[in-house]
Each structure stands twice: as C-alpha cells, then as structure tokens.
Amino acid sequence: MGILKERFKAKADIAAVEIKDLLKEHGSKKIGEVQLSQVYQGMRGITGLVSETSLLDSQEGIRFRGYSIPELQDKLPKAKGGSEPLPEGLFYLMLIGELPTEEDVAHISSIWQRRSHVPNHVFDAIDALPVTAHPMTMFVTGIMALQTESNFAKRYAEGINKKDYWEPVFDDAMDLIARLPRVAAYIYRRKYKNNQHIHPNGLLDWAGNLAHMLGFEDESFKELMRLYMTIHADHEGGNVSAHTTHLVGSALSDPYLSLAAGMNGLAGPLHGLANQEVIKWIYEMREQLKTEKPSKEQIGEYVKKTLGEGKVVPGYGHAVLRKTDPRFTAQMEFGKKHMADDPLVQTVWNIYEEVPPILQSLGKIKNPWPNVDAHSGALLVHYGMVEYEFYTVLFGVSRALGVLASLIWDRALAFPIERPKSVTTALVKRWLNGEDEIWGD
C-alpha cells in the first residue's frame, strides 16, 4: 500500500469508530423538521447527507476541512515561483483532513503523472462523436470509455469483501483524476485546434500540465488553472454534481460510472454549465448593444430585458449562499492582479454592481449575489480561451477532486445505498385531510 493510502486508512479507521459510537449514543436525536414546501421544492435546507471534504456556510462560503479559500491560498504549497495553491494539496487536505507538506504534494503530483496514461479506445470513443457534439458530451463519453479500467468493477466481479471496497475505489479515484486532464485537453484540441494534440509534460504539476496540454504556456495561465482547479473542486455534498456522484456510488456503481453521472448533472445550465452561459450572455449583450464595453446603465437595461423574457441571469443566485461567493472574489482578485484593464473583466465587475439591486428588487430571489460562474469565463477569454462551450469541462476536471475524495470516504465509512422516501400528491392530500399518514420509512 502507498503512503497516501496508508495514511487515509488510518484516518478512516478512526473516523469509522467515532461515527459508530456517535450513532450508538445519539442516533435517534432529531436534526430538524421537514416542511411540506421543502419536500416539493428541491429538498432545500434538509440536512440529509454527510460529506466530509467541505462545508458550506450561507454567509461565509465554502470551507475545505475548515479552511477558507484565502486560507488555502496562504497555506497550501505552491508551484515554484507561483503564488496560487496547487490542487494536489487541496486533494490531500480533503482526503486526509490535514494540511499537506511540500513533500506530500510532490508525492501526489508524481502519482498522478505515473497514472495518467489514457488508453487509445477512449480517444476513439470521443472521436466517434461528431465534432459538433458539446464538449461535456465528449467528456462524459471519455469517462465512460475509461470505465474499462475500473479496479473496483473487477474486484467486485471477483467477489471482494465489503470491508475492502474503499481500496479499489481509492485506486480508481487516483487513476481517474490523473487521466482527466488528458481527456479534457484532447477534447479541446480536437474540437477547436484542428485535432493537433500536445504531449503531456511530466515535469509539470497536475494543473500546470493541463494548461500545457490545452496549449497555453503563459505562466499566469498556469497559475489561473491552479487557482481554478482548487476553487471549483468541492462545495459540500448537496449540490447536483456531488450529490449525484455520491448517490450513484451508493449503489456500488464504480467511480467511473459515478463520476460520469455527476458530470451529467454538472452539464445543466443551473449548475456548472452556467459558466458558459455567463460568457454567452455577455457576448450577446455586447452584440446587441454594438459595444465592447457596455455602460452600467446599458447593463441594467439588458438585465431587465433578460428577466422580462423569463430567463435567469446566469452566474447570479445560489441555493445555499446568501452573500457574494468567495470563489467569485478569489477570481476577482486574480483579475485585479493579472488583467485589471481587460474590458471583458471590467464588464464582469460592472455587472456585479448592476445585477444584485435589480434581482433584489424582484423580491423573490433569495440570493442576488454572484456565484463562481459569474467570473471564471472572463479570465479564460483574457488568455485566448474564447470557446465558452468548453468551460464546464474545466469545472468538471476540478470537481472530480472533491467528489472522488468524498466517494473514497463514502466506501471507507460503509455508507449504505441512498434511498429517501417519496410521496404522491394524492397521499399528501389524504394526509392533510387526516385520512392517511406520511410514513418516515
């Protein structure tokens, strides 16, 4: 067993005993009451999941194992000469629960380099799709084609002891994370760069190598990728991509099947696809207004037009957050440092001034503030990555870090198959009339 695996196993054994004791003593304690409106409206606010890797506070935003994004930027190891955190370090933190040393991070970089080989049939599967296919369709196809490599699926077929499930899940997670940058870069270069692919550079860190294979050698783009891959990685357990990965994994579907399911959820416009929608929306605004840099008044009018057409303003609002997303702020800081004069980035900042009061004035939107997707595209465009349909793939590569670290924990803690109870409206009506009961199991 490798060092990382051993360390994880030691932590997981302690946690499993703690949880067992905790449930023995407090298992029947009530966490809260569920309202009928929550049952109908997306289970908002119902605590029903355990996800060890991060926790979201509605006011403060995300904390990964207790650390905020600015704290991660301060405390996680950096690339040589760089100032942004290496995502390898965040993965270590999410998996082990402690800050990594430089050596731990170098160890993960080298494991991921070693395991990054993508078999040819994966590229063939992607190539079988028309080049017009959406990059997220290609990405999920690539992940599904990689499933032939699943250690968990093989070991399960051989009859693995359930106590050992976590181990091949750990191996699959590491393999998958190692291979995703190559799959993502292949999709980008196939669709947008004439099928001219770039070999990996084994000397680079995971995110730096992704930037390199995409075709961006600028050191500050590599820094952006390190930041991007860190801040998009996890957002506790209830968001669609994390919850789906966890749910599908609970059926003992292997990590490839589980991640592909989660990525299909990320591809929805109310979730990860919002990052492409933001840039598309700004481009359309600029085209309609015939200006590269719309004024604040023009932006305000355009927002009202969007709302009037029954559409959402992409990049704004959140199911849990009630303040500006710290992931937005981290990207804004990056923008100020590297490209303060960029007209598109400035437009994003002007939108940030204009949109919240308008959304607030509608009276129904719980959070008028920007989320992570409001900013990310403008930074990518600055470096020349203008192909916005690709953006959600980048989100997905990063999100794999969090959801796969969680999946390893799920199996180590022997979480059972997920199966909440559903009801029909007919039953709800009978229950309201006192003619029937709504059972909890």
Nearer to ligand CMX, 105 or 278 (CB): 278
373 an active-site residue?
A: yes
CB of 310 to ligand CMX, least distance (A): 9
> For residues 334 and 229, what is the distance between their CA atoms, to the nearest angstrom?
14
Exposed / middle / buried, residue 419 (Cβ in 10 Å: 0-12, 13-18, 19+)? exposed
- Kindly indicate which of the ranges 132-140, 142-150, 291-299, 316-324 contains the residues binding ligand CMX, using the contact rule CB under 6 A: 316-324
Site residues for ligand CMX, window 236-255 (CB under 6 A)?
239
Nearer to ligand CMX, 19 or 312 (CB): 312
With binding defined as CB under 6 A, does residue 364 bind ligand CMX? Answer: yes
With binding defined as CB under 6 A, does residue 61 bind ligand CMX? Answer: no
Closest-by-Cβ residue to ligand CMX is 317
Task: Name which position in 312, 413, 414, 428 contacts ligand CMX (CB under 6 A).
Answer: 312
Nearer to ligand CMX, 198 or 307 (CB): 307
With binding defined as CB under 6 A, does residue 382 bind ligand CMX? Answer: no
By CB under 6 A, the count of residues binding ligand CMX is: 21
Q: How far is CA 370 from CA 63, 281, 359, in A?
A: 18, 15, 11
With binding defined as CB under 6 A, does residue 316 bind ligand CMX? Answer: yes
> For residues 79 and 89, what is the distance between their CA atoms, to the nearest angstrom?
11
With binding defined as CB under 6 A, does residue 363 bind ligand CMX? Answer: no
Per annotation, catalytic residue among 318, 325, 375, 382? 318
Per annotation, catalytic residue among 212, 232, 243, 271? 271
With binding defined as CB under 6 A, does residue 365 bind ligand CMX? Answer: yes
Q: Where are the alpha helices (DSSP H) in 159-239?
A: 166-192, 206-214, 219-231
Are residues 61 and 68 in contact, defined by beta-carbon separation less than 8 angstroms? yes
Take residue 165 and report the two structure tokens written for it.
């499930």
> Going by C-beta distance under 8 Å and a sequence separation of 6 or more, which residues neighbour residue 62?
54, 55, 56, 68, 69, 234, 235, 236, 326, 327
Take residue 228 and report the two structure tokens written for it.
């991007």
- Kindly indicate which of the ranges 202-210, 250-258, 365-373, 424-432 contains the residues binding ligand CMX, using the contact rule CB under 6 A: 365-373
CB of 308 to ligand CMX, least distance (A): 11
> For residues 21 and 43, what is the distance between their CA atoms, to the nearest angstrom?
28
Are residues 231 and 207 in contact, defined by beta-carbon separation less than 8 angstroms? no
Take residue 433 and report the two structure tokens written for it.
């009339």
Q: How far is CA 120 from CA 123, 124, 148, 423, in A?
A: 5, 6, 12, 46
117 an active-site residue?
A: no
Task: Name which position in 243, 271, 327, 375 contacts ligand CMX (CB under 6 A).
Answer: 271
CB of 406 to ligand CMX, least distance (A): 16
> For residues 133 and 49, what is the distance between their CA atoms, to the nearest angstrom?
34
Per annotation, catalytic residue among 205, 234, 373, 410? 373
Q: Scanning the structure block, which residue is given the tokens 């099947």?
A: 257
Take residue 2 and report the two structure tokens written for it.
């490798």
CB of 377 to ligand CMX, least distance (A): 12
Task: Name which position in 65, 191, 212, 318 contacts ligand CMX (CB under 6 A).
Answer: 318
Q: Give the phi and the psi of residue 277 in degrees, each rounded to 5.
A: -60, -35
- Kindly indicate which of the ranges 2-10, 214-222, 314-322, 416-424 contains the residues binding ligand CMX, using the contact rule CB under 6 A: 314-322
Cite the active site residues: 271, 318, 373
Contact set with ligand CMX (CB under 6 A): 239, 270-272, 274, 307, 312-319, 364-367, 371-373
